[in-house]
Chains A and B, each alone.
Chain A
């Protein structure tokens, strides 16, 4: 190899100033922004509200907030609001249990590394179909059929949880490590033994974390279910609102907020403890992972992770 063989790149002037922005990206940006603005304006026309209404609304809202203060805890507690708070909690808990107990075994048969397609496809369809129906609608149908009461609410929440938890558990099972399963097969283990000793210990911490998350979401859902007569604190809120007893409404609202925040705190602690295991310090990664999971669980879908390099 001589010096003449070495290809010397053609010398060009170093770029001066700012490089030009790529046109295509810019056009896309303008196009999407315009589309969003047009969609928003079209939506505005359907709301049947004037600009004055928008300006008035915060004032009207504030007016009600003012009337809620000071909250009248005495009346609502006398009407049994504390018991109704607990009823909401029971509804959420039983709903979560129903969801967990039914979805966990089913999710094995929905996973591509466990079940054949003939079994997998119908189970996945079932999960997706359940997920698509809002739990409030399920509750409404069940109430019509089984009659009013918290049990119908728990059933509705449980049914919906089967769909969301099933989908998430399936994904956890699919991303599990094959190694332990292979080792058990090599040692002559049966299918059941493979699942019990190779799969369940791997996936259980994550899956229980999802159950706890679902419980947090179900607490909110059960507070809402009272709006349509499925028991719990929501019913109390509606009756106070309908009579416009705002101090009582304020008290009930504060109780709902306290319930949700307390459950979130306890459940968040338990979740991090389960995922971190004993003896390890809980670090920032655990917190971030839990946020991603939260986003996913609101919809019962696994969250996209934009910052993860391996996706």
Chain B
């Protein structure tokens, strides 16, 4: 008894930090400093950034130019079209491929490994690099941009979706197979209803991603509003640039709000 009483009054010994964690922190700090030097880090640029006289040329925004239909509105429509068609095609293809990429529902082991391998490679190339590659392959314009976003959104979607399928309840599928269901109908009736809400939620996410990506695709020549941004920047019309940016900003915020509202209703 006296032991316990003594133990309460004595302050517990502070655990000593391990040498390993010190070494890790120092190594990371050293790497950070080294990396900062390598890329030309300057404290001064935090100040220069704001005091640069070039900012004055961003104001006032020529609203009559911005609201002219041909200047901003039409390329913006093209942006939406790229995002919509790549989301629809990418997500439709993701349904069967996502099932093939899950251990639970894959038709065969080779299909499982091949689809995973290919999709991991595709996902490792960022969306704008796909844009640049496809512009080179099939020519400048919205068509190449749609291909790029379709491929990239397919790769993102199958990753998210296949892991949801992995986590799905395996028992209904077992029951469907025990009742003699063939592979596709069994998956369709036993797994699909379970994962479909997640599929729709991810599809909305991918749509949001695609809207954001398609806004900048034009910087590499793949169509949409980014093309206008690039031309105005290279001709130093910064006031027009700011007008376009404000509109892009509004669109991203509106789309996000809509998407959040729909996703909330889905739950």
Contact = CB atoms under 8 A, between A and B. Distances in A.
Nearest to A56: B138
B39 A220 contact: no
B219 A227 contact: yes
A117 interface: no
A204 interface: no
Interface residues of B, number: 77
B-side interface mostly: helix
Interface string B203-241: 001001100100110011000000001000100001001
Contacts of B253: 128, 132
Given A133-B245, A140-B219, A307-B198, A231 B233 contact: no
A45 B93 CA distance: 21
B146 A91 contact: no
B136 A241 contact: yes
Contacts of A134: 212, 215-216, 248
A227 B78 CA distance: 22
Given A47-B81, A64-B136, A57 B129 contact: no
Contact of A40 (B32, B88, B141): B88
A146 B52 contact: yes
Interface string A139-157: 0111011100111011100
Interface string A264-291: 1000000000000000000010011001
Contacts of B89: 40
B99 interface: no
Contacts of A89: 35
Contacts, number: 200
Interface stretch (A74-82, A186-194, A255-263): A255-263
B116 interface: no
Interface stretch (A18-26, A174-182, A298-306): A298-306
B167 interface: yes
Contacts of B164: 291, 306-307
B112 interface: no
A contact residues, range: 35 or more
Q: What 10 pairs between A and B have smallest CB-CB spacing?
A: A46-B81, A90-B35, A43-B81, A43-B85, A150-B39, A260-B124, A49-B143, A43-B84, A220-B126, A40-B88
17 contacts: A39-B88, A40-B88, A46-B81, A47-B142, A48-B142, A48-B143, A53-B143, A64-B137, A87-B39, A144-B233, A146-B52, A151-B39, A154-B41, A253-B125, A264-B124, A284-B166, A304-B266
Given A48-B143, A145-B54, 7 more contacts: A53-B143, A94-B41, A129-B249, A149-B39, A220-B126, A253-B133, A257-B125
Interface of B: 31-32, 35-36, 38-42, 45, 48-49, 52, 54-55, 77-78, 80-82, 84-85, 88-89, 120-121, 124-129, 132-134, 136-138, 141-143, 146-147, 156, 159-160, 163-164, 166-167, 197-198, 201-202, 205, 208-209, 212, 215-216, 219-220, 229, 233, 238, 241, 245, 248-249, 252-253, 256, 260, 263-264, 266-267
